[in-house]
Amino acid sequence: MGRSLNSLFQFCRQMFSNSIHFAVTEFRDIYSALRVLYHSRIAFVITATLLFISIYLIFGYAQVEKTMLEAQKIFYLHVSAAMTVYLAFGVNFIFSIKYLIKRKPDDDLLAVSAAEIGLVFCTIVLLSGPIWAKYAWETWWTWEARLTSTLVLWLMYVGYFILRSALTEDKRKIYSAVLGIIAFFDVPIVHFATKFWETKLHPERGSKFDLLPTMLHTWMTVLAAFVILFLVLLILQYQTIKTESRYEVLRQKHLQELN
């Protein structure tokens, strides 16, 4: 008994030291961490599982809300997508600043990837919101503070991509990093819009309809699924555009050799 426990302990210690060694050698920086996650496919499996669990929780576990009944279930995806937008544009903000300081091309690539996925989630918020609004407020759209500031946020990041496509390689990275930083300042405006302008439509922060424990658990799971989905999409997009930029370098080199 003592011997087998000892060998189990030895095995665990070996596993632990191997994991530490793996983490130290492979996760040197965020880029190698992204590469490892991309190749290991662990994140993909976790995302798929969490999304399935989320769907089950939304329809099979969460209680039906008293005033809006089934229509309230839009909340889980709509609000989680909005939170993911904050995260995505936050990542873009951080890496835009980092790019301006260090001028490392990888930072620019990560900032662009985050902005692109943030824009996808923002589109989801802007499309699912009016459907919910039509039921709850009996109108598809109103120029209310939060709706308007979210639309402005979306337009700013559309502008970010238009700017990138319009500029030359050297100017593109710097100008888009600056715009990424400026655009991010709309995120707190969106979040605190209901407080600043005292709108009656969107509930004020902290005074949302009573979330029962089952609803809260469901929302937390959906939020976790969306955050991990964002990370997976970020890894995929980053790897693709990184390969694209490397391809461009190789192609230019090849053309120079031919000439």
The residues binding another protein (CB under 8 A) are 48, 52, 55, 59, 68-71, 73-74, 77-78, 81, 120, 123-124, 127-128, 131-132, 134-135, 233, 236-237, 240, 243-244, 247, 250-251, 254
Q: In whole angstroms, how close is the CB of 230 to another protein at the nearest point?
A: 12
Residue 84 or 194: which CB sits closer to another protein?
84
Of 81 and 177, CB closest to another protein: 81
CB of 8 to another protein, least distance (A): 37
* Cβ proximity to another protein, 35 vs 174, nearer residue: 35
Residue 8 or 64: which CB sits closer to another protein? 64
Q: Provide, rounded to whole angstroms, the least separation between the CB of residue 115 and another protein.
A: 13
Distance between CA atoms of 190 and 152, rounded to whole angstroms? 9
Q: Judged by CB, which is closer to another protein: 24, or 255?
A: 255
If phi > 0 it is left, if psi is from -120 to 50 it is alpha, else beta; for residue 103 that is left
Closer residue to another protein in complex, CB, 125/179? 125
Least CB distance from residue 73 to another protein, whole Å?
A: 6
DSSP letters for 59-124: IIISPPBTTTBGGGGHHHHHHHHHHHHHHHHHHHHHHHHHHHHH--HHHHHHHHHHHHHHHHHHHH
Q: Are 140 and 151 in contact (CB under 8 A)?
A: no
Q: How far is the CB of 51 from another protein (least distance, A)?
A: 8
Closest distance to another protein from the beta carbon of 227 (Å) = 15
Residue 192: its H or E element: helix 186-196
**Contacts of residue 222, Cβ cutoff 8 Å, sequence gap at least 6:** 54, 57, 58, 76, 77, 80
